[in-house]
Amino acid sequence: MQKILSALRRAVTEYNLIEDGDKIAVGLSGGKDSLCMLAALKRFQAFSDRKFDLCAIAVDMTNGENDYGKIKEFCKNIDVELTILPSNIFEVVFEIRKEKNPCSLCANLRRGILNSAAKAADCNKVALGHHKDDLIETFVLSLFFEGRLSTFQPKSYLSRVDLTVIRPLIYCDEQEIEKCSKDLPVLVNTCKADKHTQREKAKQILAQLNRDYPDCKEKIFNAIIHSERYNLFEKIQK
């Protein structure tokens, strides 16, 4: 956990992710990333000079079929209020809409519910568990499958809902998160599309590139976060 905390603290400091008086809703999917983030944020809260409040919000996409018993116990033990919101997202995505590439719609529906719940809880920020590997994979996914140079930001303001989205694990390696998640109550992923998505293909592309060119992922990451290294075409003003 020490490496996770160090990386989280770096992200908070460099991007000013957390400020005095914040109330942060942690988007708790039940996966390793969000649970590790919640545990790390709770520890960071104990020693940080930034005074902020935490709560956790879980959007149950199975409409009540998931068993959150161990997660409820975990949140109680670390003194974090947990709200679980049943939803029929899986039914909408897979049975009603029958999406061939379901991830985008699923994410939009989930975040819409999460953001509304965060506002209702008087939160001004939402924390998502995206980590370093997610950032790189999103870049590769956008490049290979959309023809765009794009990825997510460590901090984004959503003017439509007046919320700031933060990603405190932006400097954390997935391997470190996996190590720290062994003692956490991780939910089994019941998504029908798991391991069969474009993101999974992007992960495979990166794995192959990294085998052929060691440190390739690290170089891509550094290219993304250091804007002074960009050297792309600019629009010519006529």
- For residue range 175-205, what is the model confidence (pLDDT) as tens digits? 999 999 988 999 887 776 667 688 888 999 9
Beta-strand relationship, 163-166 and 155-158: antiparallel
Q: Which domain holds residue 67?
A: 2-229
**Does residue 25 carry a pLDDT above 70?**
yes
The pTM assigned to this predicted structure is 0.91
Q: How many CB atoms lie within 10 A of CB 41?
A: 25
Q: Looking at the domain assignment, is residue 193 inside a domain?
A: yes
Number of domains, the chain? 1
Which CATH number do you get for residue 202?
3.40.50.620
Q: Looking at the domain assignment, is residue 164 inside a domain?
A: yes
pLDDT reported for residue 32: 95
Mean pLDDT of 75-98: 86
**Does residue 94 carry a pLDDT above 80?**
no
Residue with the two structure tokens 């989280």: 8
Residue 156 confidence class, pLDDT cut points 50, 70, 90: very high
Q: Looking at the domain assignment, is residue 18 inside a domain?
A: yes
Q: What is the 3-state secondary structure (H, E, C) of the chain?
A: CHHHHHHHHHHHHHHCCCCCCCEEEEECCCCHHHHHHHHHHHHHHHHCCCCCEEEEEEEECCCCCCCCHHHHHHHHHCCCEEEEEECCHHHHHHHHCCCCCCHHHHHHHHHHHHHHHHHHCCCCEEECCCCHHHHHHHHHHHHHHHCCCCCCCCEEEECCCCEEEECCCCCCCHHHHHHHHHHCCCCCCCCCCCCCCHHHHHHHHHHHHHHHCCCHHHHHHHHHHCHHHCCCCCCCCC
Mean pLDDT of 9-16: 97
Query: Which residues have C-beta within 8 Å of that of residue 167, sequence separation ≥ 6?
Result: 11, 17, 127, 128, 129, 130, 152, 153, 154, 155
Query: Comparing C-alpha atoms, which of 169, 156, 154, 194 is closest to residue 33?
Result: 169
pLDDT reported for residue 159: 95
Residue with the two structure tokens 């003003």: 237
Q: Looking at the domain assignment, is residue 238 inside a domain?
A: no
Q: Looking at the domain assignment, is residue 200 inside a domain?
A: yes
Q: Looking at the domain assignment, is residue 91 inside a domain?
A: yes
pLDDT reported for residue 192: 67
pLDDT reported for residue 193: 66
Mean pLDDT of 8-32: 96
Q: Looking at the domain assignment, is residue 218 inside a domain?
A: yes
Average predicted confidence (pLDDT) for the chain: 91
Q: Looking at the domain assignment, is residue 21 inside a domain?
A: yes
CB distance 49 to 13 below 8 Å: no
Mean pLDDT of 228-234: 84
pLDDT reported for residue 46: 94
